[in-house]
Amino acid sequence: MNQLELIRALPKAELHVHIEGTFEPELMFAIAQRNHIDIPYKSVEEVKQAYNFHNLQSFLDIYYAGANVLVYEQDFYDLAWAYFEKCAEDHVVHTEMFFDPQTHTDRGVAFKTVIDGLQRACDDAKSKLGISSHLIMCFLRHLSEEAAFETLAQALPYKEQIIGVGLDSSEVGHPPSKFERVFAKAREAGFLIVAHAGEEGPPEYVWEALDLLKVNRIDHGVRSEEDEALMQRLIAEKMPLTVCPLSNLKLCVVEDMADHNIRRLLQQGVHVTVNSDDPSYFGGYMNDNFIAISEALDLTADELKQLAINSFEASFIDDTQKNHWKNQILALA
C-alpha cells in the first residue's frame, strides 16, 4: 500500500471541525434561496473568490456571514448531513463536531432548532452510515463572559446531547482567563472541556487553557513549540493537540506546508491529531489534510498510522471502541 492508499484505508476520528465551517457554497446558495435570504454573491465562483483570507479574523468575518442563512431545523440537518457524507468518503468513522450556538441564537434562531437539526443528522449518520459522533458547543470568545453564561444555561436542558464545551473565534485579546468562571460551571455540570489556544495566540494562552479551564484537549496549540516548558508539560500529560494543517496554511499560521511543525511535534512525543477545522473554507476535508502533510513532510506509514491511532485515543469514546479502531489500524499492511 502506498501512502495515499494507506490514508484512504485508515479509519480516522475527527476532533476539530466546526459544523458551520463545512458549509459548501452550493448548499449555502440552495438554503439562501429557499429561505429567501440575500447573500452578497452572485455565483459559487464569486463565493470561492471571497475566500482569500490572510488571518483568522478575515476568515471569521466571512464564516459568520455564511452562517446567516441557517434558520430552520432542516437547514442544520442538511449542513451536518453533507459533512457526514464527506466523512463516509474519507473513512472518518467518528467525529466530535463543534457548533457555535451564539452565531444562531443572536439572530433569533432557537437553541432547540440548532440542536434538533444537528442531532437528527447525528442519528442518521449512525444508522445509515455507521458513523458515531458527539457534539461540542463552543463559546464565542469575542463576546462577553455574561453571554457565555447565558449560552451555558440554554444548553443545560440538552446536556445529554452535548458532550463538551469549547472556546473559539478571535483568539488574540480574548485569553482563556476571560472565561475561567463559566468553564468552571460547565465542568461542574459534567461537560468535558476543550479550547482553541495557541493558534494565533501565544503559548501563555495554552498554559491558561490547561491551568484555568482544565481542558481535556487543546485545539490547534501549534504555537506551544515556542515554549520548551510547555512542550514538556504537554508530553508528560499526554495532552492532545487537535492540529489543522490546511487551516494553518490558509490563515498564514505557517507560510508553507513544508514548515509545518506537526511532524516535529509527533516525533517529540506530543499527542497530535489531524483535523480539517473549516474544510469548506480551507481547501479540504480529513484526507486532504493527511495528504497535504504526508506529501510536504514525507511522513512514513508508521507516522500516518500513529496519527490515526492518536485521533481515537484523544477522542471521547470509550476504551472498548478505542481498542477496536486501534486494532483495525495496526492490522493494516
Contacts with Zn ion by CB under 5 A lie at 277
Q: How far is the CB of 242 from Zn ion (least distance, A)?
A: 8
Q: How far is the CB of 56 from Zn ion (least distance, A)?
A: 9
Which of these, 150, 249, 141, lies nearest to 205 by C-alpha position? 141
Of the two residues 102 and 247, which places its CB atom closer to ligand HPA in the complex?
247
- Residues 8-20, buried b or exposed e (16+ Cβ, 10 A)? eebbbbbbbbbbb
Tell me the chain's radius of gyration from C-alpha atoms: 19
Near ligand HPA in 187-226, by CB under 6 A: 196, 199
HSE-up of 155 (CA within 13 Å, CB side)? 29
Dihedral angle sign, alpha carbons of residues 59, 221, 294, 19 = negative
Task: Name which position in 19, 28, 56, 97 contacts ligand HPA (CB under 6 A).
Answer: 56
220 labeled binding residue: no
The catalytic site residues sit at 199
Q: Which residue is nearest to Zn ion (CB)?
A: 277
Q: Is 14 in the site for ligand HPA (CB under 6 A)?
A: no
18 labeled binding residue: yes
Task: Name which position in 22, 224, 247, 311 contacts ligand HPA (CB under 6 A).
Answer: 247
Cell of 196: 482553541
Q: Which residue has the cell 498510522?
A: 305
Q: Is 277 in the site for ligand HPA (CB under 6 A)?
A: yes
Q: Is 310 in the site for ligand HPA (CB under 6 A)?
A: no
Q: Is 21 in the site for ligand HPA (CB under 6 A)?
A: yes
For the annotated binding site for substrate, the residues are 278
For the annotated binding site for Zn(2+), the residues are 16, 18, 196, 277
